[in-house]
Amino acid sequence: MEKEKVTSQKVRSRLKELEDEKYKEFHSGLLPGTENILGVRLPALRSLAKEIAKNDWEEWFFQKNDIYYEETMLRGLVTAYAKMDCDTRLSYIRAFVPDINNWAVCDCVSNTYKDAKKFPEKYWEFIAPYFLSDKEYEARFGAVMLLSHFVKEEYVEEGLLRLEEIHQEGYYAKMAAAWAISVYFAAFPERMLKMDSIIAASSISVICPKSGVRSSIFSSEAGRSYADKSTSELAPISFPTFSQLPT
């Protein structure tokens, strides 16, 4: 079957058919400062992205002439859904990341790169530079990719070290780093509390300097006693999941 050429005009026409004024009002409240929202729900965007991914979309992707928030979301989702080898996909992701300009595009797209589970080494190496970026949403991208695909025991210490590398001062970069730390702690509380290198305490101190958390609490008698408690005795930790993102 011959592939249809994807153009900005066609994409905008489809998006206009899917816009929802009430959802626009709701979603705009979650994205302060983002004024170009049509109000298309995420499941509809995902379906449209999968359709686009089966057609001739590459030229449209690289034009980067988005008018609407949803166009940027679509371009990111297409890089996740289109069939291609891992190295090619990473090249498209690299081209897309500088266009991320809000938390919703960052988080929804990052969570959609499912082949990170198939090629963890390549993705782990790929995301490394983003933790050092001086751009807010590039730093957030690194943190969200980490918590989306690398919340595994073998990545705990290296993951926290990477989060410590985030020195971007933007709110959304710092919140993503704090979120990632909370996810690691919820997943591996005993491992986090018993780390000989005290990376956990250092990470929290870097991300939340006013919290009063210091490495000494983990080396004190009280700290060691707390670390020796069983997981069942630890206070439950609540943190957001991608299923809670607005649809």
- Using pLDDT thresholds of 50, 70 and 90, give the confidence band for residue 238: very low
pTM > 0.85: yes or no: no
Cα 116 to the center of its chain, rounded Å: 13
* 75 vs 191 pLDDT, higher one: 75
pLDDT tens readout for residues 116-151: 999 999 999 999 999 999 999 999 999 999 999 999
Rounded to the nearest 10°, the torsion over CA 236, 242, 244, 245 is 140
3-state secondary structure the chain: CCCCECCHHHHHHHHHHHCCHHHHHHHHHHCCCCCCCCCCCHHHHHHHHHHHHCCECHHHHHHCCCCCHHHHHHHHHHHHHCCCCHHHHHHHHHHHHHHCCCHHHHHHHHCCCHHHCCCHHHHHHHHHHHHHCCCHHHHHHHHHHHHHHCCCHHHHHHHHHHHHCCCCCCHHHHHHHHHHHHHHHHHCHHHHHCCCCCHHHHHHHHHCCCCCCCCHHHHCHHHHHHHCCCHHHCCCCCCCCHHHCCC
* 131 vs 2 pLDDT, higher one: 131
In this prediction, residue 171 carries a pLDDT of 93
- Using pLDDT thresholds of 50, 70 and 90, give the confidence band for residue 227: very low
In this prediction, residue 201 carries a pLDDT of 59
Mean pLDDT, residues 70-89 = 98
Mean pLDDT, residues 90-118 = 97
**Torsions phi, psi for 19 (to 5 deg):** -65, 145
In this prediction, residue 192 carries a pLDDT of 77
In this prediction, residue 213 carries a pLDDT of 39
In this prediction, residue 52 carries a pLDDT of 97
Distance CA(122)–CA(68), nearest Å, equals 32
In this prediction, residue 205 carries a pLDDT of 57
In this prediction, residue 37 carries a pLDDT of 96
pLDDT tens readout for residues 40-54: 999 999 999 999 999
Q: Is the pLDDT of residue 246 over 70?
A: no
Mean pLDDT of the chain: 84
In this prediction, residue 242 carries a pLDDT of 41
Mean pLDDT, residues 9-35 = 95
In this prediction, residue 234 carries a pLDDT of 35
